Amino acid sequence: MPLDKKTLLDAVKEAKAKSGEKKFTQSIELILDIKEIDMKSPEGKIQQVIELPHATGKPNKICVIASGELAMNARNAKVDKVLEKADLEGLAGKKKDLRKLASDYDVFLSEAPLMPLVGRILGPVLGPRGKLPVPVPPNADIAPLIVKHHKTVVVRMRNQPIIQCFVGTADMSEDDLVDNIQAVLRVLEGKLKRGLKNIKFAFIKTSMGTPVKIKP
């Protein structure tokens, strides 16, 4: 399984060419078929947040759960949503509202002291979606964290030896897409027992296009 730029560049170009013209911006995914791995062992359960080097055309929607100064700074940083402690407590037991919140936002950042409350109220809806909140110290500079998490993706492997990961959008340059793909592969290289040798097949796919195999 290669990491070299030219091989990945060829696959990205082919995937874009095969996707056809659409009236919306298509997402681009990296799909990996993993081999020689015990799905019941810890290495068969990957969940990793990866910061991509380049912003995608679809930045993550972020919800910050905080109080006081941290909440104010998050609003000043133009975050998508701020939930204060009273707002969070008001959601307790409201399953429909909680599910909507979990679906509407990609990343949740929580002031560290509020984490137990967040876990109790939001844990049941965020856990299964792989969106567990990231704890933030009350005195943290939230603005750069928001910028960082606009560019993160969650790589998950559960039950099946398959990894599907969003790496960008079709309107991005091929070079930026390849950089994002390489960033994901580098992290997985450290997570898999045999590194990239554990990857049986790899594909690049646009939302509406056919998968293009990355040829070693």
Q: What is the pLDDT of residue 168?
A: 94
- Check residue 3 and give its pLDDT: 65
Share of the chain above pLDDT 70, in %: 98
208 shares its domain with 179:
yes
Contact call for residues 117 and 89 (beta carbons, < 8 A): yes
Residue 123: domain span: 62-149
Token pair for residue 143? Answer: 């603005």
- The Cα–Cα gap between 144 and 76 comes to 12
Q: The domain that contains 203 carries what CATH number? A: 3.30.190.20
Structure tokens, 29: 């995914």
Number of structural domains, the chain? 2
Say yes or no: 10 and 47 in one domain.
yes
| CA–CA separation, 129 and 144 (whole Å) | 25
In angstroms, rounded to a whole number, what is the distance separating the alpha carbons of residues 202 and 163?
Answer: 10
Residue type, 77: A
What is residue 154's predicted lDDT score, i.e. its pLDDT? 87
Q: What is the pLDDT of residues 32-54, one digit of tens each?
A: 999 998 888 877 888 888 999 99
The rounded distance, in Å, linking the Cα atoms of 97 and 137 is 27
44, 160 Cβ separation under 8 angstroms: no
Q: Are residues 167 and 180 both part of a single domain?
A: yes
For residue 81, the cross-strand partners are: 63
* Claim to verify: residue 96 and residue 69 sit in the same structural domain: yes
* Cα 148 to the center of its chain, rounded Å: 12
pTM of the predicted structure, to 2 decimals: 0.84
CB 152 within 8 A of CB 107: yes
Q: How many CA atoms lie within 13 A of 77 on its CB side?
A: 22
- Which pLDDT score, from 0 to 100, does residue 1 have? 52
Q: Mean pLDDT, the chain, as a whole number?
A: 91
Residue ranges of the chain whose pLDDT lies below 70: 1-3, 216
Indicate whether 72 and 144 sit together in one domain: yes
**Which residues on neighbouring strands pair with residue 201, listed in sequence order?**
33
